[in-house]
Structure 1
Amino acid sequence: MDKRILSRDGTRIAYESTGRGPAVVLVSGAMSTGGTLAPLAVSLSERFQAVVYDRRGRGASGDTPPYAVEREVEDLAAVIEAVGGEAFLYGISSGGALVLEAAASGLPVRRAAVYETPFAMSEEGAEERAEYTRRLTEALGEGRRGDAVELFLRLTGLAEGVIQGARQSPMWAGMETIAPSLAYDDAVMRDGRVPRDRLASIGVPVLAVAGDASPDWLREAARAIAESVPQGSYRTLQGQTHMVEPNVLAPVLVEFFSRG
């Protein structure tokens, strides 16, 4: 990340942009930095100024306790101000929840798109999320960063053998470094349920996208988002999972953002 700005509470936020045109700010999900979305930014850069940034507590950005979701919204507001004062927003996974909160908070957002924001669509799913929150808080409070990462990977549905293999890999140290930010993503997701009342207050068009090869409940969550936002719409991408291919997603975002 080659640029730095200060958020309202003084936290240094790192970002970079590519391309020219209206600004599109891309918001990453859990265990990710802005660099994760760099391939998508490149795909969007022919039509837009595509902006990626490191959310607080990860990558080249700083952190200032105590954490609150409102501070992350302020971080996003600072990025938007730095790149022209208004922007389109895109968020993947829990980053989508942050995008929706930013839009509901009245930031200068023109349109917003989210991909597979993992809201629970059943009581069982909500209970699983609550148990994850409890165990994550305990692990991070005791400094067990590796255990916190394992908890998250299990929540995503990874097999135990894959998780243990990851723990022995060179990438594990980096994952433990940003493990505290898992609590931030958990906070952004609130209680894990679709915040229908909050979404109903969003005054800009929102596109909720999911892959047709992802689990049914992720598509149900995307549909629920679209139904809850007054100007919401829903779309599926053929053959895509939670690890969506940038070259498949980019044309959909270009078409949606080009409307406004």
Structure 2
Amino acid sequence: MEIVTSADGTPIATHTVGDGPTVVIVNGALSTARDAGGIAQAFADAGLRAVTYDRRARGDSGDASPAAPEREVEDLAAVIAASGSDAAVIGHSSGAVLALYAAGEGVPISRLFLSEPPFRFGEGDPSSDLAGQLQALVDEGRPSDAVVLFQREGVGLPDAFIEQFRASPAFEQVARLARSTVYDTLVTQRVSTPTAAMLGVRMPVTILRGSETMPLLVAAASRLAAAMPDAEFVEVLESISHRMDPEATARIVAARLT
């Protein structure tokens, strides 16, 4: 593990595996760099240098108040700068939203891979005060309730699934990431509809979508591809249930970088 210092002084924990062209992996909601370990290793096996990092308020990384999408953009910029020039980025879920947002803000990225970004294009957005509600629950010492609220209102998961997950041993680990739900909510609300700067990024863009995933994500990938006519769209048959298949994704990324 190495520590990169973000623009506001917050420490961001990074992990690197493999040799070859550099790819920075940006995880989605309620996950850490450790959760991307399998994907990073698959990238390394495919001849790439994979860099994972704990997004702000997760794992071994720090945090600062108030939460803001700009801080996460600065974090990604710091990770890329520390990883060397000419780094590609692959973002998954809210991590894909963050990656494209950062690219639109001018963060230097050589090539961009966007895996199932949950752009809503202004339709069915969560309540505008969801981030505030989540922060209040965290401040009250109710991280589990914050995670449940985020899953229900922010992601749109059914109550039966949420309750089943809440009863599982994994929920305790996820509840530790409750503060990070504020960041995910802020960034996805900020750019529910991608800005002109995001749609006009100059680096090559590949949009990835699994063969079996949530209807919201199917629609988002199609609408984003239509809005970015120069982007490449790839359906990853092996990726199901909003999870990137490590080996299949590594083959796709490596074929475009090596």
**TM-score scaled by structure 2?**
0.89
1:10 partner letter:
G
Mark the CA change 1:221 to 1:256 in structure 2 (over 3 Å): closer, same or farther.
farther
For the residues of structure 2 that align with 1:115 and 1:202, how far apart are their CA atoms? 17
In 2, Cα distance between equivalents of 1:227 and 1:83: 32
Structure 2 segments unaligned to the other structure (5+ residues): none
TM-fit CA distance, 1:244: 2.7
Task: Give SS of 2:102's match.
Answer: helix
Identity %: 36
Equivalent position amino acid for 2:184 in 1:
D
Cα shift readout 1:165-208 (whole Å, capped 9, x = no counterpart): 33233333322221011010111112562214232331111111
Mapping of 1:44-193 within 5 angstroms?
44-45=43-44, 46-120=46-120, 123=123, 125-126=124-125, 128=126, 130=128, 132-133=130-131, 135-155=133-153, 156-191=155-190, 193=192
Aligned-partner Cα distance in 1 for 2:142–2:208: 34
1:66: Cα distance to partner?
2.1
Change (3 A) 1:122 1:214: farther
SS of the residue corresponding to residue 62 of structure 2 reads: coil
Tell me which residue corresponds to 2:225: 226
User: How far apart, in 1, do the equivalents of 2:132 and 2:71 lie?
Assistant: 22
CA contact (8 A) 2:225 2:232 kept: yes
Distance 1:106 1:122, change over 3 A: closer
2:197 maps to amino acid: R
Which residue of 2 is the match for residue 256 of structure 1? 256
**Contact 1:115–1:208 (Cα < 8 Å) also in 2:** yes
For 2:117, the aligned partner's letter is T
1:153 is matched by which residue type in structure 2? Q
Q: State the secondary structure of the residue aligned to 1:234.
A: strand
Distance 1:139 1:176 in 2: 12
SS at match of 2:232: strand
| Aligned partners of 1:203 and 1:231 also within 8 Å | no
Contact 1:26–1:91 (8 Å) recurs in 2: yes
Distance 1:101 1:142 in 2: 31
> Post-superposition shift, 1:85?
2.5
User: For the structure 1 residues 217 and 161, does the alpha-carbon distance in structure 2 shift closer, same or farther, using more than 3 Å as the test?
Assistant: closer
- The answer to whether the 8 Å contact 2:67/2:182 transfers is no
Q: Is the 8 A contact 2:122 2:193 kept in 1?
A: no
**C-alpha contact (below 8 Å) 1:194/1:225 kept by paired residues:** no
- The C-alpha deviation readout for 1:87-120, integer Å capped at 9, x for no partner, is 1000000000110012112222111011111112
What amino acid sits opposite 2:253 in the alignment? L
- Partner deviation per Cα, 1:49-72 (whole Å, 9 max, x = no partner): 100000111100111222221211
- Note the C-alpha offset of 1:8: 1.3
- 5+ unaligned residues in a row in structure 1: which ranges? none
Task: Say which structure, 1 or 2, has more relative contact order (CA 8 Å, 6+ apart).
Answer: 2
How many positions carry a matched residue from both structures?
A: 255
What TM-score do you get using the length of structure 1 for normalisation?
0.89
Letter in structure 2 aligned against 1:99: A
